[in-house]
Structure 1
Amino acid sequence: MPRIPVTPHISIDEDEVEERFVRASGPGGQNVNKVSSAVELRFDVRHSPSLPAAVAERLERLAGSRLTQEGVIVIQAQEYRDQPRNREAALQRLLDLIRDATFVPKKRKPTKATFASKIRRLDGKTKRSGVKAARGRPKID
């Protein structure tokens, strides 16, 4: 079974990616009515044996509205007028999405504000307060 390389450590089987061809909207003249050049690519994240669990979880979060309730990512490509280029574009978008999911975000280490930064903040607030107070009507004694 041919495999599609995603990263040096991750590759997916070609049979895990399902393609469906539909008619594209937009320009194309008479050709648009005859040829199914748009591609709808489907990839089942939840049942993919090729992806580690952590990557699959991040991929589901990254997919957003492209993810169905069953856990299938649906990518549509119709920017080109010919089917092979749309197939390539859709597959490339899927691979980019999977690559983005392989990056583990760094844990944020909570830090405290420095004393100097607190002083700067309070000085700024005092100056701003003075500017706003000066905007009122002048007092006549």
Structure 2
Amino acid sequence: MNTENILKELSFKATRSSGAGGQHVNKTSSKIELSFNLENSLSLAENEKELLKSKLSSKLTKENIFILFCEETRSQHRNKEIAIKRFLTILKTNLIVPKKRRKTKPSYGALKRGLESKKRTSVKKTLRKKPSLD
């Protein structure tokens, strides 16, 4: 994954932010909409694209475009920086391939200890019973 090439492929759109803020909100476009076309990306390998499609399937549009919004601050430039950082962390965390789990057997000693503790509890419970008068 080449971050410089990915940053070139990003497209930004500035819109008016929602919420409280008085007149500032009504007249400035500080909300940033970051979009990344996963299908047409040249900086990602095919296996990386497939991995991202499977992991980010709920966050992608039908055209495999990843959209991220940021309207945290009043500054458009700061929102853009925050959106880029957030986007790169999402990419890095979702490109990690999980290790395959290897099946293991419990050791002989662990099995033996388990059986011994089972016997001890069964003896303890049998001693709690009332004695039979047979």
2:18 to 3, 21, 25: 25
Higher helix proportion (structure 1 or 2): 2
Could you state the TM-score of these two structures normalised by the residue count of structure 1? 0.72
Root mean square deviation, CA, Å = 3.0
Higher radius of gyration, 1 or 2 = 2
In the comparison of the two structures, how many residue pairs are matched? 130
For the residues of structure 2 that align with 1:108 and 1:97, how far apart are their CA atoms?
A: 24
Query: How many angstroms does 1:122 deviate by?
Result: 5.3
Q: Is residue 9 of structure 2 the alignment partner of residue 12 of structure 1?
A: no
Between 63-72 and 115-124, the greater mean CA deviation after superposition: 115-124
Note closer, same or farther for the CA distance 1:75–1:115 as it changes in structure 2 (3 Å cut). same
CA contact (8 A) 1:59 1:101 kept: yes
CA contact (8 A) 1:21 1:39 kept: yes
Could you state the TM-score of these two structures normalised by the residue count of structure 2? 0.75
Between 34-43 and 64-73, the greater mean CA deviation after superposition: 64-73
Q: Is residue 55 of structure 2 the alignment partner of residue 62 of structure 1?
A: yes
> Structure 2: any 5+ residue segments left out of the alignment?
none
For the residues of structure 2 that align with 1:21 and 1:94, how far apart are their CA atoms?
A: 16
The sequence identity of aligned pairs, in percent, is: 36
For the residues of structure 2 that align with 1:61 and 1:128, how far apart are their CA atoms?
A: 48
Higher strand proportion (structure 1 or 2): 1
For the residues of structure 1 that align with 2:116 and 2:71, how far apart are their CA atoms?
A: 56
